[in-house]
Amino acid sequence: MTAVRTIHPLDELTSSEHSEIVKLIYKTFGQDIWFKAVQRIEPPKSQLAPILDALSDGKDVQNVMSKGPSRRAEVIFTNKKTAHIHTCVIDIRSLRVEKHEEIMSNHKPPLDVFMLISLEEKILSHPATFEALEQLGLPKDTPICADPWIYGSDEFGNEPAYFSFLMHMRPPGAKGDKDAFHYSYPLPFVPVWDVLQDTVARVDWVYTGDDADGMKHTWKEEYNAGLFQPYEYMPHLQQDYKCRPDLKPLQVIQPEGASFKINGREIFWQKWSMRISWNVREGLVLHDIRYEKRPVFYRLSVSEMTVPYGDPRPPLHRKQAFDLGDAGAGVTANSLHLGCDCLGEVHYFDGAIALPDGSQLIQKNVVCCHEQDMGIGMKHTNYRTENSFITRDRQLVLQTIITVANYEYIFIWYFDQAGAIHFETRATGVLSVAAIDQGKVSPYGNVVAPGVLATNHQHIFCLRIHPRIDGDGNTAIYEESVRMPFGTREEKDLNPKGTGFIVQKNMIDKEGFFDLNPLANRTFKIINTKKVNAVSQKPHGYKLHMPTTQLLLAHPDSVAAHRAPFAQHHIWITRHTDNDEDLYAAGKWTNQSRGKAGGLGDLVSREQSTEDQDIVMWACFGLTHNPRVEDFPIMPCESLMVSLKPADFFTRNPAMDVPTSNQATNASKLHHSEHSQFSCCKD
């Protein structure tokens, strides 16, 4: 341990930086403060990129590092009295408020878990709640719980800061166990909390009929709490729980340890290097991703996700979460546990966020880093000699998991040995449900338990891909595979038998949006036109592989659609400049946003040139999730995988030096069957 440590410009705030900043904020703005974020601001790319290059080249940058670039922090807080958002930029070295803005327009701050817990307490003891229970014929002391749900928005005009709650009974048989599963006991009312007035603004009632009942209030006649059944998931609460007995242990053992090296926030693995950071909104962010020191991506992050629901009947029509903008992948991250969330030799990274009072919460183990065997990486058998060449597809895994009330999202970055990066989302957890009358079915969802309607919904993710393919100045293109005209083309008979097809290239010359077209094999690439592959004579590039998925179903004229332009196209290309606040696909302030929050719609309207520029590619994909009965009570993971693959970035397969797969290393075991009622090869 040397006495002097140098802070990397991408390192998060140290504890003392954090506490000095919080002291400064209290000193400057008084005590009515609810902190939402205290975190370092990334230096502008023009300043940071040269430092990253110098560090990668092993140059001595101690001097630069200690002097500049300026180290800044962002503080976001709300004033408890006005509910206004305040944002500050702090110069950390001089401990000075460089910039302060009180957001006077009707933007609402993101929620946080501490607020939810405090609001739930208030809801559970509020007279409006007791009154609603009474109207349902339920005793006032019925054990219930209030699940937080972002209010959403259904008006283009201004509204107070609201918060809504989906109400459930606590399972009568679970004797107050706090882990009992309440989602099979939905209550058909939604208290709406007025944040500034600090009280229940109103109670909305939920339609519990079917399509034929339309907007008839049927809850009074039909609501039947006796219909519900326990659907416990925790083993100690499952009735007559019998764990299936025949699943034998499977262990990932790395006798010589992991193949990666960790250096603070830096990761080295199999010719890859990268740096991670953590913030309250995006959670895990990857920076400065290089292969053999060649820059590939400057920054990779999950930018946003919108989760709109398809039941149009008020008040549930308003259900549209922006899980990153409304809540945050950092603040909702799980602490991961060894041997539960990942196997093998695991390195954990911590995160840190600000608590409402400004103190720094160290979030233990929010990112796990480990290796995984993904089956065969490549194989060729020489049929003449029967000799094989085979390698395993070992990958480096960076995983983070968030819990947004009922739902879980698993975000996983994979790095492989052949230069590709993959990003997977897995959706799991608990479906968001509503009450439905006995015997009814609904066009808006599926009945997944007696009296429980799981509403059809979408999850549309937006991945922000900030490339640096072999250096600065990149261009986006898309290619399509196109059938040639049959027979003669101009003077040359180029397709005499009708079998020809070619690749058509389309340069993307300015900011805009694009859709996938799998029937044309439309493939988006990011290339560096200044670097030409010596073998193929084509520019160095990476291509995007992405599942083609349904776009936003909300009507284009709806508030819901105006809030999420990003979800209406698969691919967006924008240009980045140092002054851009361009991290967030749906804008910075999504909570109760009304279509004026900025984001991709605004960015592309600039129509700036994107050829040989500092471009950003945004990849939007998702699930339209029409729930199955099998998705309840806990939903098996639904997975989506996106890949970024080198395309003429290397001059040959970069994985040709991967050790071949062999039994001496892999120590597999032969299984012998002792049972042979029928024999196939003897008689």
Active site residues: 323, 407
What is the phi/psi pair of residue 543, to 5°?
-115, 155
Going residue by residue from 201 to 240, which x/- string records binding to a copy of itself, judged by CB under 8 A?
----------x--xx---------------x-xxx--x--
What are the C-alpha distances in Å from 174 to residues 31, 148, 180?
A: 42, 22, 6
The partner residues of 455 in beta bridges, in order of sequence, read 445
User: Of the candidates 19, 106, 135, 334, which one interacts with a copy of itself according to CB under 8 A?
Assistant: 334
Dihedral sign computed on CA atoms, order 82, 87, 92, 96: negative
User: Residues 379 to 408: which contact a copy of itself by CB under 8 A?
Assistant: 379-390, 392-394, 401, 403, 405-406, 408
Q: Which tokens hold the place of 419?
A: 């230069």
- Does the CA dihedral 211-212-217-222 come out positive or negative? negative
CA distance 597 to 156: 11
User: Pick from 51, 369, 585, 615: which binds a copy of itself (CB under 8 A)?
Assistant: 369
**One residue of 197, 521, 577, 605 binding a copy of itself per CB under 8 A:** 521
Which is nearer to a copy of itself, 129 or 332 (by Cβ)? 332
By CB under 8 A, tell whether 539 contacts a copy of itself.
Answer: no
| Nearest C-alpha neighbor of 359 from the set 26, 73, 8, 12 | 26
- Residues in 285-314 that interact with a copy of itself by CB under 8 A: 308-314
Size of the site for a copy of itself (CB under 8 A): 221
Buried b (16+ CB within 10 A) or exposed e, 352-369: bbbebebebeebebbbbb
Three-state SS annotation for 266-330:
EEEECCEEEEEEEECCCEEEEEEEEECCEEEEEEEEEEEEEEEECCCCCCHHHCEEEHHHHHCCC
Instruction: Find, among 209, 169, 205, 165, the residue nearest to 186 by Cα.
Output: 169
Q: What are phi and psi of 233, to 5 degrees?
A: -110, -30
- Is residue 498 near a copy of itself by the rule CB under 8 A? yes
Determine the Cα–Cα distance for residues 214 and 153; give it in Å rounded to an integer: 22
Candidates 498, 541, 540, 539; CA nearest to 523 is 541
Q: Which is nearer to a copy of itself, 20 or 580 (CB)?
A: 20
* 67 binds a copy of itself per the rule CB under 8 A: no
- Which residues 559-588 are close enough to bind a copy of itself by CB under 8 A? 559-561
Q: Is 502 in the site for a copy of itself (CB under 8 A)?
A: yes
Residue among 98, 113, 103 at smallest CA distance from 148: 113
Amino acid at 247: L
Kindly calculate the radius of gyration of the chain based on its CA atoms and give it in whole angstroms.
27
Q: Which of 128, 138, 174, 637 binds a copy of itself (CB under 8 A)?
A: 637
437 near a copy of itself, rule: CB under 8 A: no
- Give the range of 186-194, 241-249, 286-294, 585-593 binding a copy of itself by CB under 8 A: 241-249
Stretch of 104-112, 126-134, 165-173, 659-667 contacting a copy of itself, by CB under 8 A: 659-667
Which of 328, 330, 429, 467 touches a copy of itself by CB under 8 A? 429
Task: State yes or no: residue 196 binds a copy of itself (CB under 8 A).
Answer: no
User: Any contact of residue 537 with a copy of itself (CB under 8 A)?
Assistant: yes
Q: Toward a copy of itself, which CB reaches closer, 100 or 265?
A: 265
**Residues 580, 576: Cα–Cα separation, whole Å:** 6
The span from the CA of 547 to the CA of 234, in Å, is: 34
Specify the stretch interacting with a copy of itself by CB under 8 A; choose among 187-195, 288-296, 437-445, 578-586: 437-445
Taking the least distance from each CB to a copy of itself, the nearer of 299 and 318 is 318
Contact present, 389 and 377 (Cβ < 8 Å):
no
Instruction: Say if strands 360-381 and 457-467 run parallel, antiparallel, or are unpaired.
Output: unpaired
Q: Does 658 bind a copy of itself (CB under 8 A)?
A: yes
100 or 538: whose CB is closer to a copy of itself? 538
Site for a copy of itself in 314-333 (CB under 8 A): 314, 317-318, 320, 332
Under rule CB under 8 A, residue 104 binds a copy of itself: no
Q: Which of 96, 175, 202, 261 binds a copy of itself (CB under 8 A)?
A: 261
Beta carbon nearer to a copy of itself, 33 or 410: 410
Structure tokens that stand for 163 in this block:
């918060």
**Residue 20 binds a copy of itself, judged by CB under 8 A:** no
Interacting positions 138-167 with a copy of itself (CB under 8 A)? 145, 154
- 488 near a copy of itself, judged by CB under 8 A: no
Least separation in angstroms between residue 523's CB and a copy of itself is 8
The answer to the question of residue 7 lying near a copy of itself (CB under 8 A) is yes
Q: CA angle, corner 249, sides to 246 and 252, nearest 5?
A: 150
CB of 254 to a copy of itself, least distance (A): 5
- Which of 91, 479, 580, 612 binds a copy of itself (CB under 8 A)? It is 479
Residue 87 sits in the site that holds a copy of itself (CB under 8 A):
no
Residue 182 has, within 13 A of its CA and on its CB side, a CA count of: 20
Backbone angles phi, psi at 345, to 5 degrees: -90, 120
Residue span binding a copy of itself (CB under 8 A) among the ranges 3-11, 46-54, 75-83, 606-614: 3-11
Q: Which of 57, 176, 519, 579 binds a copy of itself (CB under 8 A)?
A: 519
Considering the complex, what minimum distance in angstroms separates the CB of residue 102 from a copy of itself? Answer: 31
Q: Are strands 320-322 and 445-449 parallel, antiparallel or unpaired?
A: unpaired
CB 464 within 8 A of CB 299: yes
Q: Any contact of residue 252 with a copy of itself (CB under 8 A)? A: yes
Strand ranges (DSSP E) for 626-665? 635-647
Three-state SS sequence of 510-565 = ECEEECCCHHHCCEEEEEEEEEECCCCCCEEEEEEECCCCCCCCCCCCCHHHHHCH
- For residue 557, what are its two tokens? 């004229």
Minimum distance of a copy of itself from residue 474's CB (angstroms) = 18
- Residue 196 or 338: the one with the smaller Cβ distance to a copy of itself is 338
User: Could you say whether residue 82 binds a copy of itself (CB under 8 A)?
Assistant: no
Q: Does 52 bind a copy of itself (CB under 8 A)?
A: no
353, 333 Cβ separation under 8 angstroms:
no
Residue 667 binds a copy of itself (CB under 8 A): yes
* The two three-digit tokens of residue 589, written as one number: 């302030």
In which residue are the tokens 């180290």 written? 71
Using CB under 8 A as the binding rule, whether residue 271 contacts a copy of itself is answered as yes
Is the CB of residue 47 less than 8 Å from the CB of residue 380?
no
Among 225, 343, 355, 532, binds a copy of itself (CB under 8 A): 343
Binding residue (CB under 8 A) for a copy of itself from 41, 103, 378, 532: 378
Structure tokens of 582?
A: 């361009």
Contact range with a copy of itself by CB under 8 A, out of 71-79, 98-106, 113-121, 589-597: 113-121
